[in-house]
Structure 1
């Protein structure tokens, strides 16, 4: 079994960070979105991955090669983003009709990985949401079998959202449905959707079981990413980590990367700080700070600060990308 992880998306809702960093590599509770996905799938026994990359794909390649040198990794470049279905189709020759697991590159869920992978049928991960209009939506019968899926319906007939987690036994049929949709120009919301291909398979008689995930973390927007960071810090045991820095108060949970120099500051709660970052005379809470950044005399709350960033002065709420220098004094 192989895993396909599309990470070619531009991450427009996380700009300016996604201009210089793929959203799958954004720091989150001492990890990255991508590392959480890979770790879960490896726990399920998967060791062969196909990464669909695009803009900044070299950063995905470098990260995977450095952190996961023992996995079998393939990289497929998607220069023209035309939707998730189009991205998946580009992996056809590598998959070679094997069973596949597809996990979207901004999808973090808590779920029973073994039960998901070893389900005898194809499976779609679902989670009940208050407003399903921004998601793919599944209609499920009383036996837990999916009858219909539709991408971002204007009038949803269900509140069960597709979370971006799929196991496909009939991969040959999936690729055939995607190819037919592309040849016929059948787009949803301007893109070739994986959801449309799955509905094509359902209409052809393929059985998809509904698989309800325990928790779904939204990592596509600043506000929900900060909420996810706070939840995952507790899940990954950041409240048990011990840190000692000069004249600094740590309010758990926090995750502080390697090689950081922190002085005269208050850090936490719910803060992730990347590697080799320097902070002095600063107060940081409910925020994410990237790698190799330098913050002096700053007050931050509900903020995301990119990597290689220098900040001096005082602020309350910021959303700043990589390679930035700002003096707020």
Structure 2
């Protein structure tokens, strides 16, 4: 089994945090988003992942030069071969997958790296394909599927009238990577675009018309990492899951001076807390110092210095310095508010 992760978008909705770190490498509760994504997929697939192929954007569009090394390390930690491809032009969802054509063989999962999920199903690898879906209250805001006899009959993009409340979350299984590649190649060879882009929905429809049977994979929790507030909320949800699993994410070498940690929290290595109350639902990256502060429900990256702060629903980037009494802040890497 292979996992293909298109992640070439610049993540403009999460700026300023994505000006220096690609959105899928943003750390939540101690792990990059994309690492948590592939780990969750592996748990659903329940079989060996032979290769993880990442499709990134060019360095000219903000992808740091060390992005490839970080992604290869994530694949290695899962015992998989890692491959990195570059999508030079943003030509649509199908084109992003096409950039990884050398890895499109055999069964594969395609997962767009701006969402996380928890699922209570196991993938039926005998199906022609599967589409991860979540029941939602406002289906008109999403692409949805319509079922018939347990199989997916139609794909409807943002229906104005109710046809289904099962929203497509951006994760797909294909039994044959070769067939997927053939259909994308057909789109490109014949320049079949929608809004000047090659779309995966057209590929899915073509495969269905040829007789491929897709089944739904219903997820219990769908977490968005597109903007600041949903990303902080995702951090909270993940910390809750980790606590339920009995995992303690507070490093043993944390220095506590007249301070308190209210679980669940992630506290990285070499963190110093002085006259501070942290938690619940706070992540603080390694090598950070927090003094005279109260922090709840916030996502703080590495090498951060915080003092005299009262933070709630905050997101603070790497190497930032903050001294103040504001609450719902969003501070990017290397920013100083002192």
Same fold by TM-score greater than 0.5: yes
CA spacing shift, 1:129–1:5, aligned 2, 3 Å: same
Unaligned ranges ≥5, structure 2:
none
Report if the CA contact (8 A) 2:127-2:215 is conserved: no
Tell me the residue number matched to 1:182.
188
Report if the CA contact (8 A) 1:107-1:165 is conserved: no
Deviation at 1:208, TM superposition (A): 0.6
Deviation at 1:145, TM superposition (A): 0.4
Matching of residue 237 in structure 1 with residue 237 in structure 2: no
Deviation at 1:122, TM superposition (A): 1.2
Matching of residue 254 in structure 1 with residue 254 in structure 2: no
Deviations 1:222-252 (A, max 9, x none): 2222222111101112886366611112122
Tell me the residue number matched to 1:93.
102
Deviation at 1:92, TM superposition (A): 1.5
Deviations 1:53-79 (A, max 9, x none): 114164432223444434201111012
Report if the CA contact (8 A) 2:91-2:197 is conserved: yes
CA spacing shift, 1:46–1:112, aligned 2, 3 Å: farther
Aligned residues: 324
Deviation at 1:125, TM superposition (A): 0.8
Tell me the residue number matched to 1:53.
56
Deviation at 1:14, TM superposition (A): 0.9
CA spacing shift, 1:257–1:158, aligned 2, 3 Å: same
Matching of residue 77 in structure 1 with residue 80 in structure 2: no
Report if the CA contact (8 A) 2:52-2:75 is conserved: no
Report if the CA contact (8 A) 1:84-1:192 is conserved: yes
Report if the CA contact (8 A) 1:137-1:156 is conserved: no
Instruction: After superposing the two structures, state which structure 1 stretch, 298-307 or 38-47, moved more.
Output: 38-47
TM-score, normalised on structure 1?
0.90
For the residue of structure 2 that corresponds to 1:236, the secondary structure is helix
Report if the CA contact (8 A) 1:117-1:167 is conserved: no
CA spacing shift, 1:58–1:159, aligned 2, 3 Å: farther
Instruction: After superposing the two structures, state which structure 1 stretch, 67-76 or 251-260, moved more.
Output: 67-76
Distance 1:117 1:91 in 2: 24
Matching of residue 308 in structure 1 with residue 315 in structure 2: no
Distance 1:61 1:210 in 2: 32
Deviation at 1:315, TM superposition (A): 0.9
Distance 1:134 1:23 in 2: 22
CA spacing shift, 1:190–1:156, aligned 2, 3 Å: farther
